[in-house]
Structure 1
Amino acid sequence: MAPLDFLSEFRAREGVNNHSKGKWYILAAAGLAAANKGELMPELYRLATVDLPVEDRKVVQRRIKEALLKGAVLYGIPRSGQALGPLFQALPPDEIDLYAPRTQAMNTEGESERRVKRGRKYFETLWTPGPAQGMIDRIMMYHPDHYLLDVKTIYEFWISDDSILSNIETQMCNTTLLTCWNAPVQAMWHTRGVVRYSGTLDKARFAQDMGLAIARQFDIQTGDITMVDDIVF
């Protein structure tokens, strides 16, 4: 059996034929990178783009690259590179998608203010306003540079940008990859975040189940995962 055959179950379970709306392949990309299986990214891309015209393939590619880029803030640049590198090498020159929303918006008027507001809103939605401010105050008390990197930069520039992946999709990717990353507490936080961003319990289960399936497939430890039905939302 090919290593990614198990993904057919998730593709069928999602039942979404629109390549620009499907979530199974972006969750798989995030989870495979976290599981240190980035060498399988070309095969995932092939499965997700079979029979699609070039412009549609670029949309899928864009979404996979965004999932891997956002995942880098959680599993690190090396894992991201080990997934993006094989994908880049597999792309024909006429199929390379160059959409770069952050780079393109960086010097536009008012972008800095919009980015700050967007990042703050995302952080407060994920943690709720009171606990979010308490967390910021605690970090600023003990380690201001930690705030600059792990809250301000990550949330303003990367996590909160919804030009490619919606906030729900981002939280689903985080759920899958953290489940595969042996970070059960953080996985619970971001699984809860799916619902706090108005995602359904079914979407939270889908993301969690994808992470657990990847972990089983590649014998990855997950720690003591809190299942969706046991999370206090």
Structure 2
Amino acid sequence: MKKKHSLTLLALGLMLSLNANAAFINGSFETPRFTPGTADWTLYSDSTEGIGWKTTATDHQIELWSDNFQGVAAYDGAQFAELNANQVSTLYQDVAGIAANSILDFHFAHRGRLGADTMQLDIVDLGADNLFGGGDDTTLFSNQYSDDNTAWGFYTSDGLAPIVALGNTLRFSYISIAAAGGNPAVGNFIDAADFGVGVNDPSPVPVPAAFWLFGSALAGLGVFGKRRTA
């Protein structure tokens, strides 16, 4: 029975991995997690383990807020990010391994801090050299979003023209455009971000037929183990 249980767990793990969007990291900015009662906001280096994001800011600082700090509730989870940390800058992730001709999806929440703030979402194929600004980049999507400080706006790629991957590394970027109050260190809250293939689809990712063949083989091994035990 122990062997059968282990095989069942293996099959379940493989199935979960097939349904996971593992390319995008820390979309709701829950890592690093604040220690309750010790901090309401914190600056982290973009090299911090688990943070997942990079910034174009020259000081490499990313600003995270805790839920309900200054009356702003996180859209998702217990933390969110302020795009303008110490500078007007861009938060981005580079995502590799998405096959050419895949249809890309995204979603995210955006909110102003002192009033109406504006940011831009860019999705850029980095070309054969997989380097940003290498001369062969292709912008697959670009759009600006504005929200005031009374509520989060939530945006998805649903209903838009298909965003088609070219097969190279992709850069997913939030770019600070404008912030109320004129302070470069204030504005543009971001939360609940995700990007990849099928991220807006609530149904499970179709499981390849090969998996079910493998699952049948595991089931056979389980039965065999049971008969030997008996």
Fold in common (TM above 0.5): no
Identify, as 1 or 2, the structure richer in helix: 1
Structure whose alpha-carbon radius of gyration is higher:
2
Higher relative contact order structure (alpha carbons within 8 Å, sequence separation ≥ 6): 2
Which TM-score tier does this pair reach, normalised by the shorter chain? under 0.3
Identify, as 1 or 2, the structure richer in strand: 2
> Normalising to structure 1: TM-score of the pair?
0.22
